[in-house]
Amino acid sequence: MEKFNLIYDIYHINDWIAINREILINYIINIIWAIAIFIIGKSIAKIISNGINKVLILRNIDITISNFISSIICYSIITFTVIASLSKIGVQTTSIIAVLGTAGMAMGLALQGSLSNLSAGIILVTLRTLRTGEYVDLGGILGTILNVHIFYTILKTVDGKIAVIPNSKIINGSIINYSREPIRRNEFIIVVSYNSDIDLVKKIIKQVINKENRVIKDKDIIIGIKKIDLEAIYFTIRCWSKIDEYNSVYWDLMSKFKKSLDKNNININCNKININVFL
């Protein structure tokens, strides 16, 4: 009896296969196509992501950024490939796309700040707005750039502190780069007594500047009076020097101004002296 039932089942299965042969063949063909689409899509994703990564690196884009961008592109292509493969075998992908879209929106809202920092980091690195080793002012925070990461930028301030600034804050604020140009202008404000000889003061200051070899002589050298009040005369002195000599020129000239004025019996008004330091 069992043997008879087995023969009957086999005959029934063969009969079902014979009836649905065309459907089965189409389904098998679709599965093969789905596998082929996935394999080809995965290969294309790898080729495109590697190519974009190499191009970004050749354009001196930070390797962290280039790897991140190429990974996003790779996984995006693979995701669309999987959806196309499932669609080929008859799976309704509309719901899958809707779920992915909803998940993407939820993640976007949850990571809104991080995504903002990410996009800002990509812009900073791509446009080369900031470079490692440059001295900058980022929204009132002054320091030397140690690194520009995907989400934040690290500065080292002049007093040795480490500042971590979100990239979105940098993009939305002002950026002052003190290192990009090879030369910078020094500015001094010296206050002398009201009864000082103006021409003599200018002559002394000019002599000090002319003797300083680090001052660039073919750039404008300005020695002028900023203002005069009942107690003092305010002199503004401006001259240019190389960026890597900026601070040393400032400090040395201030010392020389003081010594030369003292030798000529010109008193600096201690109550009114105002020195502006631009680091």
For residue 257, the domain's CATH number is 3.30.70.100
Q: Does residue 189 lie in a domain region?
A: yes
Q: Indicate the number of domains in the chain.
A: 3
245 secondary structure, DSSP code: G
Rounded distance, CA 60 to CA 130, Å? 13
Q: Does residue 226 lie in a domain region?
A: yes
Q: Does residue 26 lie in a domain region?
A: yes
Q: Does residue 279 lie in a domain region?
A: no
In a shared domain, residues 148 and 219: no
Amino acid making up residue 153: T
Tokens of 45: 């994703």
Rounded distance, CA 81 to CA 129, Å? 37
Q: Which domain holds residue 221?
A: 183-263
pLDDT at 3 over 50: no
- What's the mean per-residue pLDDT of the chain? 79
- Confidence grade of residue 278 (pLDDT, cut at 50, 70, 90): very low
Residue that has been written with the tokens 């690195």 in this structure: 125
In a shared domain, residues 145 and 194: no
- Confidence grade of residue 15 (pLDDT, cut at 50, 70, 90): low
In a shared domain, residues 194 and 170: no
Q: What does the pLDDT average to over 207-215?
A: 94
Rounded distance, CA 127 to CA 122, Å? 8
Dump pLDDT digits (tens) for 73-106: 887 888 888 877 777 776 666 666 666 666 556 5
DSSP 181-233: SSEEEEEEEEEEETTS-HHHHHHHHHHHHHH-TTB-TTS--EEEEEEE-SSEE
So what's the pLDDT on residue 201? 93
pLDDT at 255 over 90: yes
The CATH number assigned to the domain holding 166 equals 2.30.30.60
Q: What does the pLDDT average to over 172-195?
A: 89
So what's the pLDDT on residue 97? 65
